[in-house]
């Protein structure tokens, strides 16, 4: 199970230092600017129960096959910042590594599938605690098939 609080926020607002979640119809963010809520604009934030800070989780690094494991970026570990130009395929936080590992273990290829899982797990209830993800019991494994995701 993924022992993290998780929420999707507007990427445009996040870059400006705001945390804006979607409105209840999932059409716009809740900021005054009302940015449209599209998959290109959504950012996944996670927070471990030990830490008080939300951190961004980048999409899974592209590869034909999943690596044996995801490793931490040495630049982030040494200098707190990654200087790689392009998409660094090493995790930039322990939380990111945990999410990537969870996605790998549950065959979630992209953030859209992660988003659908999040909506399902939070029942789309827009309560303040909706960002706490409680994984489904093991016997109710959530599997998203290709037909299901393409019909979205």
What is the SS3 string spanning 34-84? Answer: CCECCCCCEEEEEEECCCCCCEEECCCCCCCCCCCCCCECHHHHHHCCCCC
- Tell me which H or E stretch contains 94: helix 94-105
Identify the band that residue 119 occupies on the pLDDT scale cut at 50, 70 and 90.
confident
Domain membership flag for residue 124: no
Total tally of structural domains belonging to the chain: 1
pLDDT of residue 50: 86
Two tokens at 65? Answer: 């096959």
Q: Is position 44 within any domain?
A: yes
Which of the four pLDDT bands, split at 50, 70 and 90, describes residue 123? Answer: low
Q: Does residue 139 lie within any of the structural domains?
A: no
Give the pLDDT of residue 33: 95
The answer to whether residue 151 is domain-embedded is: no
Chain Cα centroid distance, residue 18 = 17
Tell me what pLDDT residue 52 has.
85
Whether residue 130 is contained in a domain is answered as no
- Segments forming the whole domain that contains residue 16: 5-119
Q: Read off the pLDDT band of 87 (50, 70, 90).
A: confident
Q: Is 142 part of a structural domain of the chain?
A: no
**Domain-embedded: residue 74:** yes
What is residue 62's predicted lDDT score, i.e. its pLDDT?
80
C-alpha–C-alpha distance, residues 72 and 108, integer Å: 20
34 is a domain residue: yes
Residue 47, φ and ψ in degrees, nearest 5: -140, 125
Encoded tokens for 100: 């990537």
Classify burial at 19, counting beta carbons within 10 Å of its beta carbon; exposed 0-12, middle 13-18, buried 19 or more. Answer: middle
Average pLDDT over residues 125-133: 44
């Amino acid at each position: 199970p993924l022992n993290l609080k998780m929420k999707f926020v507007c990427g445009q607002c996040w870059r400006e230092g705001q945390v804006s979640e979607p409105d209840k119809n999932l059409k716009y963010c809740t900021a005054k600017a009302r940015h449209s809520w599209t998959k290109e604009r959504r950012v996944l934030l996670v927070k471990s129960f030990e830490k008080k800070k939300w951190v961004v989780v980048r999409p899974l690094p592209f590869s034909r096959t999943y690596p044996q494991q995801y490793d931490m970026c040495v630049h982030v570990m040494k200098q707190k910042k990654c200087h790689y130009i392009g998409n660094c395929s090493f995790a930039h936080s322990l939380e990111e590594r945990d999410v990537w590992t969870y996605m790998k273990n549950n065959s979630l290829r992209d953030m859209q599938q992660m988003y659908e899982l999040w909506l399902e797990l939070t029942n789309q209830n827009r309560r303040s605690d909706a960002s706490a993800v409680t994984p489904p019991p093991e016997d109710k494994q959530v599997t998203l098939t290709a037909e299901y995701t393409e019909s979205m």
